[in-house]
Amino acid sequence: MRSWGRITLALVLIFLIGPFAIILAAGLSDGETLAFPPQGISLRWVLAVFELESFRASFALSLVLATASTMAALVLGTPVAYALDRYRPPGAIAISALLTSPLVVPGIIVGLALLRHFVIPLGVGVTTALFLAHTALLIPYAARVVSASLANLRVDIEEAAILLGASRPGAFFRVVLPNIRSGVLAAFILGFITSFNQVPVSLFLSGPGVSTLPIDMLSYMEFTYDPSIAALSAMLALMSVAIVLVAERLLGLSRYV
């Protein structure tokens, strides 16, 4: 039984993870066009990626956007998680439904709606609209991960702090927050990766010279068939794997997923 299980798992994991080995190899190819097996091995296309100005610009935008919108989602989402966990207000179910609604609506529609109602009529910048859309999408993630870590925290240490004279906000910042910091950090990492890899929400929200990295990659792929996208994909995949492995070691990220 166990050996059958091992074979099944090996096959499934080959299907799931095998393709990465393929892009890794294709990205290290020396050939002019995308092919497998690769023609020769070189870092040519890896270096080519760094030469492309548009990728550098969109990488920078994705980085700033992911950081800013995850921070904003945590600042907005953490108090909600705290309020729902500690005060159990009436209508908690309706509040959760409202706050998770960005997960139900197709992302592409969120982007289109913001384009039509903020960017075009109000002259709001595309980057601001991207920030709004990504933050709305990340609030449910932030609230969920933070509430998971709040649920594991005993209420009495906070009550003890208040009995000993701490104000409520004081108790939160000096007792609660330090105790859930690994949960908050996990939420940050998950939010950052979600925003960084996000496509549908950003699809309509790009202007001249303003594009996130995945959107830029998609439009580049439409017209070019060289191995640079494979090289870039492989680098991004390795970056995600590195972040996840480090986070798993430090925080046990999988407890929050």
Partner 1 sequence: MTDRSRAALLIAPAALFIVAGFLLPVGVLLMGGFRDGAGAWSLARYVEFFATPLHVETLWRTLRLGALVTIASAIIGYAAALAIVDSSPSSRGRYIGLFILPMMISPVARTYAWVVLLGRTGLVNVLVLKLGLSDEPLRILFTETAVFLGLVQLFLPLMVLSLVSALENLPPDVTAAARLLGASWLDVFLKVILPLTREGLAVGGVLVFTGAITAYITPAVLGGSKVLMLETLLFQRVSVANDVVTASVIAMLLIVMSYAANALLRRVASVRKA
Please report, as residue ranges, which positions from 52 to 91 form the binding site for partner 1 (by CB under 8 A): 76-77, 79-80, 82-84, 87, 89-90
**Count of CB atoms within 10 A of residue 8's CB?**
10
| Least distance CB 233 / partner 1 (angstroms) | 3
Helix axes 53-86, 126-151, angle to 10 degrees: 40
Closer Cβ to partner 1, 185 or 230, answer by number: 230
Shortest Cβ 192–partner 1 spacing (Å): 10
**Is residue 23 part of the contact set for partner 1 (CB under 8 A)?**
yes
Closest CA to 237 of 200, 183, 189, 196: 196
Work out how close the CB of 146 gets to partner 1 at its nearest, in angstroms, rounded to a whole number.
12
Q: Where are the alpha helices (DSSP H) in 152-176?
A: 155-163, 168-171
Q: Which is nearer to partner 1, 50 or 225 (CB)?
A: 225
Burial code of 203-235, b = ≥16 C-beta within 10 A, e = fewer? bbbbeeebbbbbbbbeebeeeeebbbbbbbbbb
Q: Which of 49, 130, 132, 180 binds partner 1 (CB under 8 A)?
A: 132
Q: Which of residues 89-108 bind partner 1 (CB under 8 A)?
A: 89-90, 95, 98-99, 101-102, 104-108
210 is a site residue for partner 1 (CB under 8 A): no
